[in-house]
Amino acid sequence: MLSQLGDDAKLLAGGQSLIPLMKLRFANPKYLVDLNFVPGASYIKESKGSLCVGALTRHAELEHSAVSAKIPIIHDCAAGIADVQVRNRGTIGGSVAEADPSGDWAVVLSTLSTTISCVGKNGKREIPLDQFIADAYTTALEHDEIVSEVRVKLPAKHSGGAYLAFKRAAPVYPTASAAVQLTMEGDICKDASIALGCVGLVPIRPRDAEAALRGQPLNPSTLARASEAAERAADPQPDMRGSAEYKRKLVGSLLKRAIEIAARRARGEQVVAGHIYA
Ligand SMILES: Cc1cc2nc3c(=O)[nH]c(=O)nc-3n(C[C@H](O)[C@H](O)[C@H](O)COP(=O)(O)OP(=O)(O)OC[C@H]3O[C@@H](n4cnc5c(N)ncnc54)[C@H](O)[C@@H]3O)c2cc1C
């Protein structure tokens, strides 16, 4: 249908980004191609060491899934998006396809080795997430392709993650956010993967912050080095949510807290975490 209808057509999934844009007249598609009628597009399953999530899977389904109990960073993200109404409608496929710089999923998925499956009339493409999201609101999708699946490599043993986002109220996007996935070897951080949200046009990977943790014990001075490196890597824009300097400090402090929670989870502790409200 997308091929037949051309540029006048737009896909509709949960409608939680598209419909508000249409109400504001920022989007005026002539045709809506409703994915909700496609059978079998919503699922959560494990296969060959990966977690496979159908594009039409709702945030709420992920929030309440067994997998989010197993991979807590998934729960932190899914349970914190907006409010229950948005989570009941909004989909993971819609979120990655929208590539909103303030969206939560792309930040979390950036720490987890994620591949996006895209299907079009010319077949299927597998695109690593960092190549899929090209810029703010811009992805590698062709007009007549859809996101069919989000695939995440299951985290290694002794690894734990956390996602913290700071926001003023439930139905607004975060001011800044930090996701971290750590693999521990005793008290030493063997590997670290970090992504920062709302402080750039796409999720920012602060490589110096990851390097500051790798091979180190997670003590206050290591955490301070990682947090300072994250602040340097952030590239926030001032807006009604705060000045650039404020967001820079905020993201550094969110990262510090997220590292502490991720390390405790990597040790097998059950730690409740998620979005933090002003
Ligand atoms: C009040 C409010 C607060 C919100 N707060 C947050 C928040 O804090 N954090 C957050 O992350 N999100 C937030 N959202 C957005 C929400 O998460 C959306 O669900 C999500 O961004 C888009 O998913 P959707 O399924 O609703 O997509 P839709 O709105 O249906 O579509 C969004 C875009 O993606 C395209 N699309 C949809 N599905 C596919 C697909 N499978 N393949 C290719 N293209 C596709 C559509 O054509 C459209 O361009 C909020 C939304 C609202 C209304």
Could you tell me the CATH number of the domain that includes residue 134? Answer: 3.30.465.10
CA gap 179, 228 in Å, rounded = 15
Query: How many CA atoms are closer than 13 Å to the CA of 110, on its beta-carbon side?
Result: 27
Q: Domain boundary residue among 105, 126, 153?
A: 153
Closest ligand 1 atom, residue 20 Cα: 53
Contact residues for 182 (Cβ-Cβ < 8 A; gap 6+): 159, 160, 161, 189, 191, 192, 193, 213, 218, 259, 262, 263, 266
Q: Domain boundary residue among 153, 171, 197?
A: 153
CA gap 142, 145 in Å, rounded = 5
Domain CATH number, residue 176: 3.30.390.50
Listed residue (141, 142, 144) closest to 132, CA to CA: 141
Q: Domain boundary residue among 124, 153, 182?
A: 153
Q: Would 19 be classed as within a structural domain?
A: no
For position 274, what pLDDT does the model report?
Answer: 86
For position 69, what pLDDT does the model report?
Answer: 86
Q: What is the CA radius of gyration of the chain?
A: 18
Domain count, the chain: 2
The length of the chain is 278
Listed residue (183, 175, 206, 151) closest to 267, CA to CA: 183
Cβ(120) to ligand 1 under 6 A? no
Cβ(104) to ligand 1 under 6 A? yes
For position 278, what pLDDT does the model report?
Answer: 86
Query: Within 10 A of 237 (CB to CB), how many other CB atoms are there?
Result: 13
**Distance (Å) from CA 108 to ligand 1 centroid:** 16
Over the stretch 41-94, which tens digit does the pLDDT of each residue have? 999 999 999 999 999 999 999 999 999 889 999 999 999 999 999 999 999 999
Which parts of the chain register pLDDT below 70? Answer: none
- Indicate whether this model's pTM tops 0.85: yes
**Distance (Å) from CA 230 to ligand 1 centroid:** 27
